[in-house]
Structure 1
Amino acid sequence: MTTTRRVTWAEANARRIGRQHLAAPASAKGSSPAAITGAILGAHAQVLSAAELSIALRLAGSTRADVREALWTDGTLVKTYGPRGTVHLLPAVDLPLWTGALSAIPAGPNPMPPASRMTDEQTEEVLTAIGDVLAETALTVDELTDAIVERTGPWAGERVMEAFQDLWPRWRQVTHRAAHRGVLCFGPNRGRKVTYTNPHHALPGFTPMDGAAAHTELVRRYLHAYGPATPQHFARWLAAPGTWAAELFASLAEQGEIEDVLFEDAPGWVVAGDTDFADGPVRGVRLLPYFDAFAIASQPRDLLFPGRAEERALAGGQAGNFPVLLVDGTVAGVWHQRRSGRRIAVTVEPIAPGTLTPARLRALEEQAERVGEVLEGRAELTVGEVTVGPHA
């Protein structure tokens, strides 16, 4: 008779932190920005400097310049729309996996007002136009709008999409879908203007994976990095339908790809055979930037953000809106950095009095210094109240 493996939070958290290269940074000789980004399943890059910090903090001796080189010079990283339809840095080598998986997730209800929506036929027209016009060049949003309108009609350029106190052209509601189809990604900025291009420039012959195979591989990678986890956790991480995720996990369990464990006495899943866990608890102090992958994907939230951490470090229940202080593997504060020339003022606010013992304060000083190195500046640490609100 097989006994179901029991996994505690301390065991799961220790393994996750180790696999996230947060227990100790990876060696620069044995890893790379692209490898780190693959290990954490993408770096949220709506604020690009936060993604650079997320990646470089996990790679010994690395700075933001190394991440930028991987993105804009070597082409080993791609800036595109990833999980949750948000801007991410992803390894270029994994783009077939991501596009195959994301393009095959069932679409939820259309959130756009009826008068702003596009028909299925119009959507396909726009996606085809995007692929065609970006095939040989990089275009700004305005240039891409003009090119799409020329190929489809004035309806595509009508400013009906509310966004950031502005009205955007109708076609932009499918920007993330174009990325998931593999016909759009970000190009280098032109001055202060964003450009879009076609990922086939960096990956000639690139083709999205078969959807079913991509979903299997993505679940395996997710559980390797963040397991044990439930289908609901996976669905929340992707912003995918919960019923679809539950059916996917059930199918993979039947195929023997994943197996169940008891995680804090509740059902959870890991990759089949991946049931070795390090002894907890985690020790150490870490500073994680906005939307760090560990803070977003690690579940359950009430254990990662215990007690008052939930109120102080989560914005309406959403992780990532505050940079967080990790102490012994759980969120114990928030922080903020402000740059002036080479000077980087780092303010850290512990949630509970007495959190920063002398030893932890020394470790925090080292972390702040490392943040300064990554950002190619000089950090100055202050322990006190963070008055900046959550990032919108």
Structure 2
Amino acid sequence: MMQSTTGELSLSWSQVAARRLVRHGLDTPAQGARPAEIVRALCGAHAQVVSAAFWSIGLRSASLTSTAVKDALWSEHSLIKTFGPRGTVHLLAAQDLPLWAGALSALPPSHNGQSQEVRLTPEQTDEVVKVIAAALSDTELTIDELSEAVIAATGSWAGELVMPAFNGMWPRWRMALAQAGICGALCFGPNRGSKVTYTNPRRFLPEFAPVEERRALTWLLKSYLSAYGPATPQHFAQWLNAPRSWAKELFNALSAELEPVKVNGSLAWVVAGDSTFPSSLPQSVRLLPYFDAYAVGGQPRELLFPGRATQRALTPSGQAGNYQVLLVDGIVAGVWHQRRSGRRLDITVEAFEQLSATQRRELDEQVERIGAFLNAQPCLTLGPVNVGAHA
């Protein structure tokens, strides 16, 4: 590390990657860490694919199993499945839920591209959220059961089929579903057979109350920079799916608590006083699942996904997470796929460059770790992966 001529710490990309590997628990798997501790360090585990979220946690531990993560979610309730950053489904640490609710509720509202005549008014949104909280206060409901309760309590307007969906149209009230999760009126319950259920997180956190906006946003920005920094307001805005102008204003408002650094000559920020970086790059080979936090939140994309990784591991729009990726020394260096049949787990890895003997041994160890996590017998094949992007 060296000081720039303008006073900022000057860092190379390899130093940034080294720090993020350590912060994300991808250098050395943790001994004895509980699922909620791991999730806190990541600022949430993306759970659009729940099995992928479980492996996001498991790969950062030396001993956790998928059963242990499942118990943390559905039995201990130290994890909560709900709507998090970008309005997408995440596993969040239960103890942080009041902070998440305070911070995410403070974001500028998004209309998700719906036309004015289709949108819920702010008053209608508030009404639906209150009804959802009440309907789920002591039970778990499927989406159809929740829909009946919301429409019965609010009126026919809530049930108008105006929202385009995968296989038809959804009722108007469902535009408030993610908002209900974000503000803490709703979270996911355990599946009822093949059906998703929802419940109220206050069943598990009786004293739940969203934290005050300024304190919550300060916590969120500092937590993000701890995991993903150095970063810019633009990076933070993309991670949250928030306006860049809003993110810039937040960085400016908290400037006294932030510290500028240079990464490959470009200005970025860390939390003030949190400017220690590893002196060397940890050597590691990891198999990241769909939507892993390291890939989704990592910026700049062109440095994290260099060369062939740009075409093979990102969507045409540059979105990360839709492919399972091989991570070598903090850089995306391949893609992979798994298929399970009984206890057999077939894993195919397509490396973009030939792996060294040491890297191949580490890949074998990673494959064995997946098998132990899933209680399966893994079989590794090196070759092309022909599976497309996950939606």
Q: TM-score range, shorter-chain basis?
A: over 0.9
Q: In structure 2, which of residues 118, 131, 142 is the aligned counterpart of residue 129 of structure 1?
A: 131
Alignment of 1:227-266 (within 5 A): 227-253=229-255, 256-266=256-266
2:108 aligns to what? 106
Q: Is the Cα–Cα contact under 8 Å of residues 108 and 241 in structure 1 kept in the other structure? A: no
SS at structure 2 position matched to 1:286: strand
TM-score computed with the length of structure 2 as normaliser = 0.96
How far apart, in 1, do the equivalents of 2:146 and 2:109 lie?
25
How far apart, in 2, do the equivalents of 1:332 and 1:351 lie?
6
Amino acid of the residue matched to residue 213 of structure 2? G
User: C-alpha displacement at 1:197, in angstroms?
Assistant: 0.5
1:95 aligns to what? 97
Q: Is the Cα–Cα contact under 8 Å of residues 285 and 327 in structure 1 kept in the other structure? A: yes
Post-superposition CA distance 1:92-133 (Å, at most 9, x none): 000011000000101134511344321222212111111111
1:350 aligns to what? 351
Alignment of 1:260-275 (within 5 A): 260-275=260-275
2:226 aligns to what? 224
2:307 aligns to what? 307
Paired residue total = 386
1:369 aligns to what? 368
User: C-alpha displacement at 1:145, in angstroms?
Assistant: 0.3
Q: In structure 2, which of residues 199, 214, 217 is the aligned counterpart of residue 215 of structure 1?
A: 217
How far apart, in 2, do the equivalents of 1:174 and 1:247 lie?
27
User: C-alpha displacement at 1:362, in angstroms?
Assistant: 1.7
Post-superposition CA distance 1:68-111 (Å, at most 9, x none): 00000001000000000000000000001100000010113451
1:18 aligns to what? 22
Alignment of 1:1-392 (within 5 A): 3-28=7-32, 31-253=33-255, 256-316=256-316, 317-352=318-353, 354=354, 356-392=355-391
Q: Is the Cα–Cα contact under 8 Å of residues 332 and 351 in structure 1 kept in the other structure? A: yes
Amino acid of the residue matched to residue 55 of structure 2? L
Q: Is the Cα–Cα contact under 8 Å of residues 78 and 91 in structure 1 kept in the other structure? A: yes
RMSD (CA atoms): 1.2
Q: Is the Cα–Cα contact under 8 Å of residues 44 and 90 in structure 2 kept in the other structure? A: yes
Q: Is the Cα–Cα contact under 8 Å of residues 10 and 279 in structure 1 kept in the other structure? A: no
Q: Is the Cα–Cα contact under 8 Å of residues 325 and 333 in structure 1 kept in the other structure? A: yes
Q: Is the Cα–Cα contact under 8 Å of residues 309 and 331 in structure 1 kept in the other structure? A: yes
User: C-alpha displacement at 1:14, in angstroms?
Assistant: 0.4
Q: Does the C-alpha gap of structure 1 residues 226 and 321 become closer, same or farther in structure 2, counting only changes over 3 Å?
A: same
Q: Work out the percentage of aligned pairs sharing the same amino acid.
A: 55
How far apart, in 2, do the equivalents of 1:60 and 1:215 lie?
33
158-167 or 190-199: which moved more?
158-167
How far apart, in 2, do the equivalents of 1:110 and 1:299 lie?
24
Post-superposition CA distance 1:254-310 (Å, at most 9, x none): xx2111111111110000011110023332211100000000111111111011111
How far apart, in 2, do the equivalents of 1:50 and 1:224 lie?
23
Amino acid of the residue matched to residue 3 of structure 1? G
105-114 or 153-162: which moved more?
105-114
Q: Is the Cα–Cα contact under 8 Å of residues 315 and 390 in structure 1 kept in the other structure? A: yes
User: C-alpha displacement at 1:2, in angstroms?
Assistant: 7.9
Amino acid of the residue matched to residue 332 of structure 1? A
Post-superposition CA distance 1:143-194 (Å, at most 9, x none): 0000001100112122221122332121111111001111000011111111
Q: Is the Cα–Cα contact under 8 Å of residues 26 and 284 in structure 2 kept in the other structure? A: no
Gaps of 5+ in 2: none
How far apart, in 2, do the equivalents of 1:193 and 1:176 lie?
18
How far apart, in 2, do the equivalents of 1:2 and 1:96 lie?
40
Amino acid of the residue matched to residue 252 of structure 2? A
Gaps of 5+ in 1: none
SS at structure 1 position matched to 2:26: coil
Amino acid of the residue matched to residue 360 of structure 2? L
How far apart, in 1, do the equivalents of 2:195 and 2:110 lie?
31
Amino acid of the residue matched to residue 266 of structure 2? A
How far apart, in 1, do the equivalents of 2:124 and 2:362 lie?
55
